[in-house]
Amino acid sequence: MKAIFIILGFLFTIIGVIGVILPILPTTPFLLIASFCFMKGSDKLNNWFKSTKLYKNNLESFDKNRSMTFKTKAVILGFATIMLLIPFITVPVLPMRIFIIVLIILKYYFFIFKIKTVKPEKKRKTVLVEE
């Protein structure tokens, strides 16, 4: 079972990296899943993943203090809403449509009220001073 989590971790990491390059594909949700898979699959790979720049740039603030930037929230919400609207439009079953609407409402509630919004950290340049 651990091998499956490790394979899924790498798969979702690759998809997350593609999301960094392609603006249409969100990075954060896939990296969250990758982090979960590495955590379940291997302590060594979990520590490696958490030391990568990819993790630090996209997930570290969420992992440490359950917060995200507004941009990250907007990208995740936008992508997830589009993905949920596709079956909402294409499936003419009323109970399914009601379920999707409830799911969208819960998702927005969670992201707006349960995850703190923080300002993006400015990248600081380190200046070496010789004495």
| Predicted confidence (pLDDT) per residue in 35-85, tens digit | 999 999 999 999 999 998 888 877 887 778 878 888 878 887 888 888 889
pLDDT band of 10, cuts 50, 70, 90: very high
The answer to whether the CB of 67 falls within 8 A of the CB of 59 is: no
- Please list the residues that pair with 116 across neighbouring strands: 67
Q: How far is 27 from 57, CA to CA, in rounded Å?
A: 11
pLDDT of residue 14: 93
* Element containing residue 88 per DSSP (H, E): helix 70-90
Residue 42 has φ and ψ, to the nearest 5°, of: -165, 130
- What digits encode the pLDDT tens for the residues 82-107? 888 998 999 999 999 999 999 899 98
7-35 average pLDDT score: 84
Residue 75: partners with Cβ closer than 8 Å, 6 or more residues away: 26, 27, 28
What's residue 99's pLDDT? 92
**Position 127 pLDDT exceeds 70:** no
67 backbone dihedrals φ, ψ, rounded to 5°: -135, 155
Q: State yes or no: pLDDT of 20 exceeds 90.
A: no
CA distances to 49, 81, 113 from 107, rounded to whole Å, are 27, 9, 10
**Which has more pLDDT, 6 or 78?**
6
